[in-house]
Chain A
Amino acid sequence: MKIYTNENNTSTLKLLIAANLAGKKVELHNASLTGPRALPLLEVDEQLSFFSSNAAVQYLFPILDLSENGQCQQMQEWEATRLLPAVATVITSKSVPSDLKQALNSLLQTINEHLGKHKYILGEKLSAVDISVWSTLYPLYYNKDYNQQYLSEFVNIKRWVEELAGAKAVQEALLQWNGSPSGPFGVSSALGIPLLPSFISPVGSPQEADVGVSAEEIEAAKDNWINGLSKLDKPLIQEKVVLPLKDRKNVLITSALPYVNNVPHLGNIIGCVLSADIFARYCRICNYNTLFICGTDEYGTATETKALEEGVTPRQICDKYFAIHDAVYKWFNIGFDYFGRTSTEEQTEIAQKIFVKLMDNGFVSKQSVEQLLCENCDRFLADRFVEGICPHVGCGYEDARGDQCDKCGKLINAIELVEPRCKVCGHRPIVKPSEQLFIELGQLESSLRSWISTSEHQWSPPARAVTRAWFREPLHARAVTRDLKWGVPVPIDGFRNKVFYVWFDAPIGYVSITQTATKAYEKWWKKDKDYDVKLYQFMAKDNVPFHAIMFPATCLGINEDYVLVSHLYATEYLNYEEGKFSKSRGVGVFGTDAQDTGIPSDVWRFYLASVRPETSDSSFSWAELGTRNNSELLNNLGNFCHRSLSFCANTFGGTVPEIKPTQADYELIALVNREIAAYVQHMEKGRLREALRNVLSVSRLGNQHMQSEQPWVLLKGSDDDKERGATAIGLCCQLVALLATLLSPYMPDTTRRLQEQLKLDPTVLRLQPNNPSFLQYLPVGHTIGKPEPLFVKIEADLLDRLRVKYAGTQSERANKANGETPILTASELEAAIAKQGEVVRKLKETTKDKSVWQPEVNKLLELKKQLVAVTAKQPTNQQINGPSDVASLEKAIAEQGDKVRKLKASTKDKAVWQPEVNTLLDLKKQLAALQINK
């Protein structure tokens, strides 16, 4: 028997394992997909061959169907149609969309469950299914990164993979296969990697890459070109206060409320406010009646802590940062209808009203929670407001916080702290049960689920993925009150000295901000038979639970017909040059920094929209910012606009020449119409990054047209040629007007300049969303203004300088600016190490991406080296025989324990940490011996 295969094809591994297990001889032959259409191909003889690897495995290893009802084939089909496509997509793509991650996770869970019940997938005997699944999982299991990311939680899979890997037949097969788990992998079919059934788009959306325009499309293009402008809806007159209108599409847009105690970074900006702004501007060119609101989220512990740190009142903190946020968003040209804040009277009033109603409807319960009370300050202390001695054995750190110890990093239950003290006054608090109110999310779960099932198909993939993950387990009651001062007071007797948790009142901020803006929030937020309001919410995916579960649950619970979110457009995260943006550590480019770079805000908006993390995480990179600006804005878009308008100004004195379209011109118009239609479709579904591509395609089509028509030649030719040349220029000027329309959501400043150059009123530049097409925006005989270049080149050395300037964290940048590397003493170093250790630990908790935490780990190691150097200089008396008294032994144990813990966290390689563990055990023995002797 012969096997034809390409290199590193995991499906070939299936065949080899099966052949080895069955003791059949096979010959391997190299092949590529240009011959056979699927690989591997098993050729038994001239008459019989198998192109399906799963069929071939069953042929080679014919253990008869164990369960007698086709279970083996059923699992094989499952492997071929679902597992293999998912794994193959993951291992061949650079970034993996979240819904695919989720799908793969649930597939793996299925296998893990099977293996939890039996030794092998189908029972106690090895079957063809095991061979197929094992081979497909091979690259996932044996690649360290994938394993950590996808398989770490599945213990049964681990047990089973290792067991099979130990078999002699499998080892021999691997030798014959001669592949590597690090790829690249051979594709199994000339048809490409199949899609998972749930990923195939339900409507026929033909990807007409090379398909020519049809006669109908040309007819439609003609009709719209001639009559389209007159068919546009009358422009909406912008009222001072926007309220929903009858017979209009009413769109309410919210952006996640940025938390007030920090300056927003670029990731925050594209995640919510900028995305929402682009969408709002799009809605306005479509003539939808649009209200776009946002504000700062101001209540909560973090504000109170920050205020304590800076020694001012929470209100002052909020005022300070509100002004910073406001200025940043103004600079980015975010066109809020209203930018408010949550610390208003309207917020208090509405939040209390909603809560009372929720309580009347029976969705609120009381539970007692043990908490620390400071009798001196007369208040319960939030975890961050209490410090004390770390209760963990071997640590004993004196300034441990109520939620976590900075030294050993373990989580602490605040009431377990030894000798706790109030962070404010230093008094010792007492433990006292405190009654808190809880919202019974569990009781609302069924109505929540039925609402989500009707609405989630309109959400973005990350929003759906997060929501589904939440619903894997039943919802639990959630505490809604806490013992703080800075917040909305609870209007219930016995709880009046408490405030609401931020998760409850922050989403109500949207409602209260609408109230502040319009004085009639109910018109927008309550359903009305007279007009239809659609709610669009933009956010990063960490905010999804509050918008998809908590807030809707509240609204359903009060049963007052609140408008629930219909389009929830969440994004994934934006990374910073392969690392992470971080507000708390100050990594990345912040709103205020963007301003200092000298790069115009429109370019920032354009770049951020073009890397918007819509389906998977994406990265900010200075180099890419430059490339996009220079190749797309400058060479493509800017070049086309400037060239067309200059031609018109120089050759025709600025008067747009008459256009007499030929059949070929209508074909171009029809192609442009396709882009506009796609633009509208993407925009409506919140795929802002995709829509931007369509804009650039329009300008690319324009450039191509200019290049193929060569009007500069035509204008020197016969009368016919001159007419064609004039038409070409006229058409290009109309395209510029179209671009000014399509681009306006992304680049408002540039659009304004284009409008001036075109001498067009902005109200003309609109779209007809139900019949999107290219219109004659410029009337016959229209005279344009003076053309000017729109963009400037960004030089590579500027980018290099910026990259260096914004490397590291903000505090490091400040140090660099002061031009000094401080020489630290041993105790300062120890403090720095503890702090850095904390940073590393947090990072490792949040991500598995080694490239993210490795630099921080390196810093930690560097600090430790310094400490060793410093302490080596100091005389010590315990160097030779080791520590001999109890205190120093205990200290040594603590230190050693610390070391071991960190090592274990950083590596799984036993060989590395075993020696250190041995040292620790020795030390403990010594201590025990000393104590007994006493």
Chain B
Amino acid sequence: MSACNTETIKLIGKYLNTPVGPVCYNTDRVLTTVLGKQNVYGFASIVLQLVSKSGVQMSQENLLLSYQWLEHIAIYSNQAVTNPILAKNFLQDINKALQRNTYLTGNFINIVDVATYYALYPLLERLPIYERESLLHLFRWSKHIQAQPKVCSSKPPLALNNLTLSVLAPIAH
């Protein structure tokens, strides 16, 4: 199992309503596909190409911020899936970044948020309740993302019932 995999790319393609081409891994285990007769390598590059193919225009600044997050996800997320300690720190960093911003790149939702959501899904899914507690902002953000019909129709929304905690540790009245 990994976070940035062919399935993630396909989900993003579906979200953008853009064909993703023959996505696969090359011999160095890097995601690869062919878009418009061009070979594209790497998670971030494929996503950015899909965005531009889907007709979405981004300002240079927005593009760089998007690249920055996609690069971060490409570097660490697969490693985080196999290493729980790294996963913890990795998620906490993202949580911290979402403390000041509604979305990863500012106050507006961006395709990066959706891509990141899909990539983090396997990590978030397996977290026990008591660990979710410490990642409040991240889960608030997830809730926003999965509220979109286009997202929750392809992946079952994460169960984020804030009542669950109070069942285990009822508030003293």
Q: How distant is the Cα of A76 from the Cα of B48 in the complex, in angstroms?
A: 13
Which of the residues B61, B83, B89 comes within 8 Å of A48, measured between beta carbons? B61
- Please state if A50 and B28 are interface contacts (CB–CB under 8 Å): no
B109 interface residue per 8 A CB criterion: no
Say whether A50 contacts B29, CB under 8 Å. Answer: no
The SS class assigned to the B binding surface is: helix
How far apart are the CA atoms of A203 and B86 in the complex, in Å?
A: 16
Neighbouring B residues of A198 by C-beta, 8 Å: 28-29
Cα A585 to Cα B96 with chains together (Å): 61
Q: A204 near B75 (CB under 8 angstroms)?
A: no
**With contacts A48-B61, A77-B74 known, is A207 near B85, CB below 8 A?**
yes
Do the beta carbons of A74 and B40 come within 8 Å of each other? yes
B56 to chain A, nearest CB (A): 14
Select from chain B the residue with minimum beta-carbon distance to A207: B83
Q: Are B76 and A209 in contact, CB atoms less than 8 angstroms apart?
A: no
Q: Is the CB of A70 within 8 A of B83?
A: no
* Minimal beta-carbon separation of A114 from chain B (angstroms): 14
Q: How far is the CA of A851 from the CA of B3 in the complex (A)?
A: 45
Known A51-B68, A197-B28; contact A81-B75, beta-carbon cutoff 8 A: yes
Nearest chain B CB to A890 CB, angstrom units: 57
Known A74-B42, A74-B45; judge A52-B72 contact (CB<8 A).
Answer: yes
Residues of A close to B64: CB separation below 8 A = 50, 55, 58-59
Docked-complex contact B71 and A207, CB < 8 angstroms: no
Q: Are the C-beta atoms of A76 and B67 separated by less than 8 Å?
A: yes
Query: A52-B68, A73-B45, A190-B89 are known contacts. Are A200 and B78 too (CB-CB below 8 A)?
Result: yes
The complex places the Cα of A200 from the Cα of B76 at a distance, in Å, of: 10
Q: Are A52 and B89 in contact (CB under 8 A)?
A: no
Contact of B82 among A58, A70, A192, A205 (CB under 8 A): A205
Q: Which positions 185-234 of chain A face chain B at CB distance < 8 Å?
A: 190-192, 194-198, 200-201, 203-209, 211
Are the C-beta atoms of B60 and A191 separated by less than 8 Å?
Answer: no
Tell me the smallest distance from the CB of A488 to a CB of chain B, in Å: 39
Q: With A77-B74, A191-B89 as known contacts, state yes or no: A55 contacts B67, CB within 8 Å.
A: yes
Can you give 18 contacting A-B residue pairs, CB < 8 Å?
A: A37-B93, A37-B96, A48-B61, A50-B68, A52-B67, A52-B72, A55-B65, A58-B67, A77-B44, A77-B67, A77-B74, A81-B75, A82-B30, A103-B28, A197-B29, A197-B30, A198-B29, A208-B84
- Per-residue interface assignment for chain B, residues 36 to 66, with 1 indicating a CB less than 8 Å from any chain A CB and 0 otherwise: 1010111111001100100000001100110
Tell whether B111 is near chain A: CB-to-CB under 8 Å: no
Residue numbers of B with Cβ under 8 A of A are 1-2, 28-30, 36, 38, 40-45, 48-49, 52, 60-61, 64-65, 67-68, 70-72, 74-76, 78-79, 81-86, 89-90, 93, 96
Is A200 in contact with B48, judged by CB distance below 8 angstroms?
no
* Chain A residues near B90 (CB-CB < 8 A): 191
Q: Given the interface contacts A54-B71, A70-B52, does A78 sit within 8 Å of B41 by beta carbon?
A: yes
Smallest Cβ-Cβ distance to B94: which chain A residue: A37
Give min CB distance, B86 to chain A, whole Å. Answer: 6
Cβ–Cβ contact B84 & A62, under 8 A: no
Is there a chain B Cβ closer than 8 Å to A565's Cβ?
no
| A69 at the binding interface (Cβ < 8 Å) | yes
**In the complex, which of the residues B84, B89, B96 contacts A206, with contact meaning CB atoms closer than 8 Å?**
B84
List the A residue with the shortest CB-CB distance to B40: A74
When the two chains form their complex, are residues A206 and B83 in contact, meaning their CB atoms are under 8 A apart? Answer: yes
A80 beta carbon closer than 8 Å to chain B: yes
- Cβ–Cβ contact A197 & B78, under 8 A: yes
In whole Å, how far is B24's beta carbon from the nearest beta carbon of chain A? 13
> In the bound complex, what is the Cα–Cα distance between A52 and B68 (angstroms)?
6
Task: Using CB atoms, name the residue of chain B closest to A59.
Answer: B64
Q: Given A52-B67, A70-B49, A190-B89, is A77 in contact with B38 using a C-beta cutoff of 8 Å?
A: no
Structural contact, B68 and A201, CB atoms closer than 8 A = no
User: Closest residue of chain A to B101, judged by CB?
Assistant: A47
Q: Is B71 touching A70 in the complex (CB atoms < 8 A)? A: no
Distance A48 CA – B43 CA, assembled complex (angstroms): 24
Q: Are A204 and B28 in contact (CB under 8 A)?
A: no
Tell me the smallest distance from the CB of A532 to a CB of chain B, in Å: 30
CB distance A55 to B38 under 8 Å?
no
A204 touches B72 (CB 8 A): no
| A70 and B78 within 8 A (CB) | no
- Chain A residues closer than 8 Å to B29, beta-carbon distance: 197-198, 200
Which residue in B45, B76, B85, B86 is a CB contact (below 8 Å) of A70? B45
Q: In chain A, what residue has the closest Cβ to B72?
A: A52
The reply to whether B93 and A81 contact each other, CB–CB distance below 8 Å, is: no
Whether A77 and B84, one on each chain, are in contact in the complex, defined by CB atoms closer than 8 angstroms, is no
Evaluate contact between B41 and A204: CB separation under 8 angstroms: no
Set of chain A residues within 8 Å of B68, measured between Cβ atoms: 50-52, 54-55
Asked if A200 contacts B79 (CB within 8 A), the reply is yes
> Beyond A190-B89, A191-B89, A191-B93, is A81–B82 a contact (Cβ under 8 Å)?
no
A200 vs B25: C-alpha distance when bound (angstroms): 14
Known: A73-B45, A194-B79, A206-B84. 13 other contacts (CB 8 A): A37-B96, A54-B67, A55-B65, A55-B67, A69-B38, A69-B49, A74-B45, A76-B71, A77-B41, A81-B30, A82-B30, A200-B79, A204-B1
Shortest distance from the beta carbon of A83 to any chain B beta carbon, whole Å: 12
Collect the chain A residues with CB atoms within 8 Å of residue B49's CB: 69-70
Q: Give the most central of B41, B71, B89: most A CB within 10 Å.
A: B71
Contact assessment for A206 and B82 in the assembled complex, using a CB-CB cutoff below 8 Å: yes
**Cβ-closest chain B residue relative to A64:** B60
Given contacts A55-B65, A198-B28, contact A80 B71 (CB under 8 A): yes
Write out, one digit per residue, whether chain A residues 287-298 have a CB within 8 A of any chain B CB (1) or not (0).
000000000000
Q: Which residue of A lies closest to B1 (CB)?
A: A204
Closest CB in chain B relative to A773 CB, distance in Å: 24
Complex Cα gap A706–B164 (Å)? 42
Chain A residues with Cβ below 8 Å from B52 are 70
Q: Could you mark each residue 455-477 of chain A with 1 if its beta carbon is under 8 Å from any beta carbon of chain B, else 0? A: 00000000000000000000000
CB distance from A194 to the nearest CB of B (A): 5
CB distance from A45 to the nearest CB of B (A): 12
Tell me which residues across on chain B come within 8 A of A37, comparing CB atoms: 93, 96
Smallest CB separation, A47 vs chain B (Å): 8
Contact B40 A194 (CB under 8 A): no
618-649 of chain A: CB within 8 A of chain B:
none
Q: Which 9 residue pairs across A and B have the least CB separation, nearest first?
A: A55-B68, A52-B68, A74-B45, A77-B42, A197-B29, A198-B29, A77-B44, A55-B64, A194-B75
User: Which B residues lie within 8 Å of A208 (CB)?
Assistant: 84
* CA–CA, A418 and B64, complex, Å: 70
A206 CB contacts on chain B under 8 angstroms: 82-84
For the complex, what is the distance from the CA of A147 to the CA of B153, rounded to whole Å? Answer: 53
Output the least CB separation between A153 and chain B (Å).
20
Give Cα A928 to B79, complex, Å. 70
Chain A residues with Cβ below 8 Å from B74 are 77, 80-81
CB distance from A715 to the nearest CB of B (A): 41
Query: How many Å lie between the Cα of A700 and that of B41 in the bound state?
Result: 47
**In the assembled complex, which residues on chain A have CB atoms less than 8 Å from the CB atom of B61?**
48, 59
- Cβ-closest chain A residue relative to B4: A197
Whole-angstrom distance between the Cβ of A763 and the nearest chain B Cβ = 39
CB nearest to A79 among chain B residues: B71
| Given A200-B82, A207-B84: A190 and B28 interface contact (C-beta under 8 Å) | no
Which residues of A are found within 8 Å of B30, using beta-carbon distances?
Answer: 81-82, 197
The residues of B that contact A205 with a CB separation of less than 8 Å are 82
Cα(A209)–Cα(B96), bound, Å: 25
A754 to B21, CA, bound (A): 64
CA distance A54 to B70 in the complex (A): 12
- What residue in chain B is nearest A192 (Cβ atoms)? B86
Q: A73 to B70: give the CA distance in the assembly, Å.
A: 11
A321 to chain B, nearest CB (A): 44
How far apart are the CA atoms of A232 and B165 in the complex, in Å? 45
Q: Report the bound CA distance from A791 to B96 in whole Å.
A: 54
Query: How far is B75's CA from A51's CA once the two chains are assembled, in angstroms?
Result: 13
Q: Pick from A51, A70, A203, A204: contact of B48, CB below 8 A.
A: A70
What A residues does B45 contact at CB under 8 A? 70, 73-74, 77
Q: How far is the CA of A69 from the CA of B45 in the complex (A)?
A: 10
A107 to chain B, nearest CB (A): 9
Instruction: Name the residue on A nearest B45 (C-beta).
Output: A74
